[in-house]
Amino acid sequence: MISGETILCFAPEGWDDIWRNRHQIMSRLARQNTVVYVEPRPYLRNVLSGLRQGIVRPFQMGSRFRQVMEGLYVYTPPLWAPISGREPLQTLLRWGREWDMKAALHRLGAGRPILWLVRPDQEDVPGHWGEKALVYHIVDEYSGYVGLTPERRRGIAERERKLMARADLVFVTSPALLQTKSRYNPNTTLVPNGVDYEAFSRALADPTLPPDLDALPRPRVGYVGALNDKLDFGLLREMARRHPEWSLALVGSWAVREDQESFALRGLPNVHYLGKKDVSEVPHYIKGLDVCLMPYKLNEWTRHIDPLKLYEYLAAGRPVVSTAIPAVHPFAGLVSVREGGEEFLTAVEKSLAAGDLAGSAARRAEAARHTWDARVEVISEKLAAFLQA
State whether 31 and 175 are in the same domain: yes
State whether 108 and 67 are in the same domain: yes
What pLDDT is stored for residue 43 in this prediction?
80
Mean pLDDT value of segment 218-229: 94
Local confidence band at 219 (pLDDT 50, 70, 90 cut-offs): very high
State whether 129 and 53 are in the same domain: yes
On the 0-12 / 13-18 / 19+ scale of CB atoms within 10 A, 54 is exposed
State whether 312 and 236 are in the same domain: yes
How confident is the model over 318-348, as pLDDT tens digits?
999 999 999 999 998 899 999 878 899 999 9
CATH number of the domain that 316 lies in? 3.40.50.2000
Q: Does the pLDDT of residue 263 top 80, yes or no?
A: no
Q: Is the residue at 354 inside a domain?
A: yes
State whether 60 and 176 are in the same domain: yes
Name the pairing type of β-strands 72-76 and 34-38. parallel
| Separation CA 376–CA 216 (nearest Å) | 37
Sequence-distant (6+) residues with CB within 8 A of 119 are 12, 142
State whether 175 and 280 are in the same domain: no
φ, ψ at 5 (rounded to 5°): -95, 160
Q: Does the pLDDT of residue 259 top 70, yes or no?
A: no
What pLDDT is stored for residue 58 in this prediction?
65
Q: Is the residue at 1 inside a domain?
A: no
Q: Name the residue range of residue 20's domain.
A: 6-194+371-388
**3-state DSSP of 24-85:** HHHHHHCCCCEEEEECCCCEHHHHHHHHHHCCCCHHHCCCEEEEEECCEEEEECCCCCCECC
DSSP state of 217: P
What is the DSSP annotation of 125-187? STTSS--SEEEEEE-S-GGG-TT--HHHHHHHHHHHHHHHHH-SEEEESSHHHHHHHTTT-SS
- Side-chain-facing half-sphere of 114: CA atoms under 13 Å: 26
Per-chain mean pLDDT for the chain: 92
Total structural domains in the chain?
Answer: 2
State whether 78 and 93 are in the same domain: yes
State whether 246 and 298 are in the same domain: yes
Q: Does the pLDDT of residue 356 top 70, yes or no?
A: no
Among candidates 293, 296, 217, 297, which has minimal Cα distance to 251?
Answer: 293
Instruction: Give the pTM.
Output: 0.93
More confident position, 259 or 138:
138
Q: Does the pLDDT of residue 56 top 70, yes or no?
A: no
| Separation CA 49–CA 239 (nearest Å) | 40
Q: Is the residue at 137 inside a domain?
A: yes
State whether 221 and 171 are in the same domain: no
Give SS3 for 333. Answer: coil
